[in-house]
Amino acid sequence: MRQFVNLGPLALESGSSLPEVTMAYESWGTLNESGTNAVLVLHALTGDSHVTGEASEGHPTPGWWSEMIGPGCPIDTDRFYVVSPNMLGGCQGSTGPSSLDPAGREWGSRFPRVTVRDQVEAEIALTKALGISRWQLVIGASMGGLRVLEWALMGPAAGVEVESIAPIACSPQFTGDQIAWSHPQLGAIRADANFRGGDYYNQPPGQGPHVGLGIARQIAHITYRSATELDTRFARLPQGAEEPLHGGRFAVQSYLDHHANKLAVRFDANSYIVLTEAMLTHDIGRDRGGVAAALESIKSRALVVGVDSDRLFPVGHSIDMARRIPHADECAILHSNYGHDGFLIEFDQLAPLVSNFLTSVISKVNQ
């Protein structure tokens, strides 16, 4: 069940601030008396706090990592107290552009720019509000992995111990290539006539910037899958009986339209912009002496995981991170034809990695 915590005001890196921040989260399991069994799970760009469980009120789809988290799963909720927040700037309960400001109006275009570090600051405040002073593990993939890396440095600095981290399918800074892929996504949303500069919430139902958001999702989805998977699965197959040569469509076009429509009905376009622009700010080395110095200063034990066919966060970034983080083993590589989305699909490979890592961390702590 989704729960809410009011954290009060939050100062932002931009120099602006939010006068009131609410964080939505879900939790499973029970925090032990010593407070040593807490696990923080951080979602990706269009994910949310509903990591595991059936579809329910506020969550029209089942949990996005149900095979990873739950009783008897690699992150066993019979043993661990698992918390998953909806990130700051989102649209699934935490304060974001569609939230009401103190005057009772949607923030819309007035919502301030937030960074990955701002989002972690909000998660640190939530952690303290929940009475947690130590995370056994902080784990996340994609945009969640970016926050995992910041947690490794910001958590201890704020008095929250981070025993171990698992950054999956991510990188220590957003690269020029990743910024380039993001740029047309942002442009597609802003070019939609129904976007209205970000102030579209009073339009009749169904008249928001859904076309622009859908196009943004199509662009992004191409980076989430590999060329091998798309060509093997679809190749030049037509959708239906009519050949593209005679006015029909290719099956892969229909596939992308399907994912565009799915996102447009469940996600807020302004949140997509705010969260994407937050990713653009990601650079763990900023004001820390550079990427290498920042990674080498991480004291948490680390499980670094990459996907060998990932074209959004190439596996080389993960390999380099594992080499530089002092208490990381060799980078674990998921072998997948699915690309970046391998972290959601290759459960048979990822599950034992996480399970064995947690066992190792607990054993080390108990020595």
Catalytic residues: 142, 310, 340
- Find the helix packing angle between 210-224 and 176-191, rounded to 10°: 160
**Among residues 112, 126, 1, which one has the least CA distance to residue 53?**
1
Distances (CA, A) of 165 to 43, 106, 184, 329: 14, 36, 32, 12
**Beta pairing, strands 305-307 & 332-334:** parallel
Residue 48 CA to residue 300 CA, distance in Å, equals 25
The token pair that represents 238 in the structure block: 């037509």
Q: Collapse the DSSP code of 38 into the 3-class scheme (helix H, G, I; strand E, B; otherwise coil) and give the result.
A: strand
Residue 147 CA to residue 140 CA, distance in Å, equals 8
Beta carbons within 8 Å of 164's beta carbon, 6+ residues apart:
136, 137, 138, 300, 301, 302, 303, 357, 358, 361
Residue 212 CA to residue 224 CA, distance in Å, equals 19
